[in-house]
Amino acid sequence: GIRDTDSAQEFQKRLAASKRIIVVGNGGIALELVYEVEGCEVIWAVKDKAIGNAFFDAGAAQFLIPALETNKPERPVPCKRSRYTTEEPAPGTPQGGSALGPDWHEGLVLRGSEQVMVATGLG
């Protein structure tokens, strides 16, 4: 699972050669992965009746589902808020990854090995 920056980087390495992935869960990281990953088939397994139920109600989830099926904008929309980054550890220093924050996928290439059509089974 993706829990820190090290596991996110490991995921990026594995994703580069993937044709299909499965995302299990309905939390914030799962929501971001399903939206951000490109170039491979994404199967999303949730036990709940609606996506993102910890963050919004079922009606909002139904409203957001089409966003998963459309192309994302080429340029990110400008957003005024604090940004969090990590510093590189000193050479030879064993250090675990930092906890994931709101920008955890910045700088990661979340692209698989092929072009796929996006479809959802919810609804």
The model's pTM is 0.62
Q: What is the pLDDT of residues 88-120, one digit of tens each?
A: 666 776 666 666 666 667 777 777 777 665 555
Q: Which fold has domain 5-68?
A: FAD/NAD(P)-binding domain (3.50.50)
Please tell me the predicted confidence (pLDDT) of residue 93: 67
Distance (Å, whole) CA 89 – CA 86: 9
pLDDT block averages, 10 residues each, the chain of length 123: 86 93 92 90 92 91 87 72 64 66 70 65 54
Residue extents of the structural domains in the chain: 5-68
